[in-house]
């Protein structure tokens, strides 16, 4: 843990009533949340997982274990919490433990989804390569099976111990406690997440729809909420919350998906959602975990106006807004989730002094040029720089990739 983090969070707790304060402690985007039992656990792109005391609005435990992003987190019913990472590992933590009490070996691919059974006996993790690993927390034994031909975008335990999964192959499947297939049904669009609600299985889709399925995979209800992809989902207290790529959160009734509220919760994607203690918690690109009432009212600081693109109004500057979440253009500024990109061209990958790169990145021979930058966003970090901590993302249009490269060259030239 970096020195000064806990005092900073505690000092922030003096601003107002603790139960209404936003939570600040991550050094970059926060992509995973889970809440309950007066606690919230968060996982960030900065490799940290933080266990928060919600009543005191302070960090109870700050861990930094995974090699790369913490991609999923879950509280354990009997105490402690789970973390999953871009490194493919699962880690079991005691609430106040500084090192995990159990860790699985590194995986062949990153973990995309995670759930814990109601009795706290089992954990299931879905991987980018379509596999599912079930971990028995008492025996530490694992079962591994191929659930999908593409990324397991969501999964959840049913009350009896069966598991339901959705994947990038546009399928919903149910598996017995012995990991035997019960059924598969086709889905109408790409699913981006799954959560068990009070009245069925809520699945969010890239087409902006929220759909409710029963335990047999039969569609019960669907609701098109937006023309933007839904990227996060949570349930609780008779509500389902769905977060979008543009920062909107939708709160709907869990039984019929009738919308109650929609509001802007972030300047950018809402990567994490959780419902507990009569509150909604959201997280996104700026690293702040925000509190909201179930009527959509900000209980903490709310959302500040979006920062304008730096220096000019070019197309490259607009694209840079997304990069600026994790990177700075100031020399030697490594305070965000990623290193400064000042003077990136002509430099070997993983060589910027003062930043803690992964070993995989340091071992690569890539020299950054406008062409290699374009290649990165053509193929995506998973394929082009495997083992890096960079979240998977692509820039589809060649002219946009060129605009970003021109912008980076121009900003550094102007600064010099």
Using pLDDT thresholds of 50, 70 and 90, give the confidence band for residue 322.
confident
Is-contact 121 134, C-beta < 8 A?
no
Residue 396 CB-density burial (10 A; 0-12 exposed, 13-18 middle, 19+ buried): exposed
135 closest CA partner among 171, 95, 107, 109: 107
Structure-token pair, residue 239: 């509500």
pLDDT band at 12 (very low <50, low <70, confident <90, very high): very low
- pTM of the predicted structure, to 2 decimals: 0.77
Instruction: Classify 114 as helix, strand or coil.
Output: strand
Model confidence at 104: pLDDT above 60: yes
Q: For the segment 23-70, what is each residue's pLDDT rounded down to a tens digit?
A: 998 878 899 999 999 999 999 988 999 999 999 999 999 999 998 899
Q: What is the mean pLDDT of residues 168-187?
A: 97
Q: Give the pLDDT band (50/70/90) at residue 354.
A: confident
Alpha-carbon gap, residue 135 to 148, rounded angstroms: 18
Strands, E assignment, 147-296: 152-157, 163-167, 171-175, 181-186, 191-197, 200-205, 209-213, 219-224, 230-236, 239-244, 248-253, 259-264, 270-276, 279-284, 288-293
Q: Is the pLDDT of residue 16 over 60?
A: no
CA nearest 65: which of 83, 38, 51?
A: 83
For residue 320, the model assigns a pLDDT of 85
Q: Give the mean pLDDT of 106-131.
A: 95
- Residues contacting residue 22 through CB under 8 Å, at least 6 positions apart: 288, 289, 290, 291, 300, 301
Confidence of residue 336 (pLDDT cuts 50, 70, 90): low
Predicted local confidence at residue 3, as pLDDT? 35
The most distant pair of C-alpha atoms in the chain lies apart, rounded to whole Å, by 64
The neighbour count for residue 261, using CB atoms within 10 Å, is 17
Q: pLDDT grade, residue 14 (50/70/90)?
A: very low
- pLDDT (mean) for 253-281: 94
Q: Which of 92-101, 303-312, 328-337 has the highest mean pLDDT?
A: 92-101
Mean pLDDT of 380-395: 77
The answer to whether 110 and 88 are in contact (CB under 8 A) is yes
- The residues that bridge with 48 in the sheet, in sequence order, are 64
User: What is the sign, positive or negative, of the torsion defined by CA atoms of 373, 32, 201, 246?
Assistant: negative
Q: What is the pLDDT of residue 212?
A: 97
Which residue would you say has higher pLDDT here, 197 or 133? Answer: 133
Lowest mean pLDDT among 84-98, 225-239, 258-272, 375-389: 375-389
Q: In 86-190, which ranges are E strands?
A: 90-93, 102-103, 111-116, 122-127, 131-136, 142-146, 152-157, 163-167, 171-175, 181-186
By CB atoms closer than 10 A (0-12, 13-18, 19+), residue 295 is exposed
Strand order, beta sheet including 200-205 = 191-197, 200-205, 209-213, 219-224
Q: Quick one: how far is CA 45 from the chain centroid?
A: 8
Chain segment 196-252, per-residue pLDDT in tens: 988 899 999 999 999 999 999 999 999 999 999 999 999 999 999 999 998 999 999
- Say how far apart CA 187 and CA 169 lie, in whole Å: 9
409, 374 contact by CB (below 8 A): no
């Amino acid at each position: 843990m970096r020195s000064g983090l806990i005092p900073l969070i505690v000092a922030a707790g003096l601003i107002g009533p603790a139960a209404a304060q936003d939570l600040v402690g991550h050094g970059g985007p926060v992509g995973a949340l889970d809440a309950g039992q007066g606690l919230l656990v968060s996982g960030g792109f900065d490799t940290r997982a933080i266990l928060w005391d919600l009543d005191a609005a302070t960090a109870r435990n700050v861990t930094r274990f995974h090699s790369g992003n913490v991609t999923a987190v879950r509280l354990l019913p009997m105490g402690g919490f789970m973390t999953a990472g871009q490194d493919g590992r699962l880690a079991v933590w005691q609430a106040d433990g500084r090192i995990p009490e159990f860790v699985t070996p590194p995986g062949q691919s990153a973990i995309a989804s995670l759930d814990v059974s109601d009795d706290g006996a089992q954990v299931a993790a879905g991987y980018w390569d379509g596999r599912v690993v079930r971990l028995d927390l008492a025996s530490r034994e694992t079962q591994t099976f191929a659930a999908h031909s593409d990324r397991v975008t969501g999964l959840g335990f049913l009350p009896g111990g069966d598991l339901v999964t959705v994947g990038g192959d546009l399928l919903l499947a149910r598996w017995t406690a012995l990991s035997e297939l019960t059924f598969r049904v086709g889905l109408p669009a790409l699913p981006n997440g799954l959560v068990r609600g009070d009245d069925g299985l809520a699945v969010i889709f890239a087409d902006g729809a929220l759909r409710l399925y029963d335990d047999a995979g039969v569609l019960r209800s669907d609701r098109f909420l937006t023309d933007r992809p839904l990227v996060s989902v949570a349930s609780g207290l008779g509500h389902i919350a769905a977060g979008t790529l543009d920062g909107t959160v939708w709160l709907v009734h869990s039984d019929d998906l009738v919308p109650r509220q929609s509001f802007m919760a972030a300047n950018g994607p809402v990567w994490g959602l959780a419902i507990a203690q009569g509150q909604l918690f959201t997280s996104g690109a700026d690293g702040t975990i925000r509190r909201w009432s179930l009527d959509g009212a900000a209980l903490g600081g709310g959302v500040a106006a979006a920062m304008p693109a730096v220096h000019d109004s070019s197309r490259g500057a607009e694209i840079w807004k997304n990069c600026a979440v994790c990177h700075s253009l100031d020399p030697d500024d490594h305070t965000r989730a990623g290193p400064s990109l000042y003077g990136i061209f002509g430099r070997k990958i993983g060589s910027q002094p003062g930043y803690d790169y992964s070993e995989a990145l340091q071992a690569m021979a890539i020299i950054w040029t406008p062409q290699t930058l374009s290649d990165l966003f053509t193929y995506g970090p998973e394929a082009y720089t495997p083992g890096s901590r960079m979240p998977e993302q692509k820039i589809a249009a060649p002219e946009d990739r060129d605009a970003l490269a021109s912008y980076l060259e121009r900003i550094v030239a102007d600064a010099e």
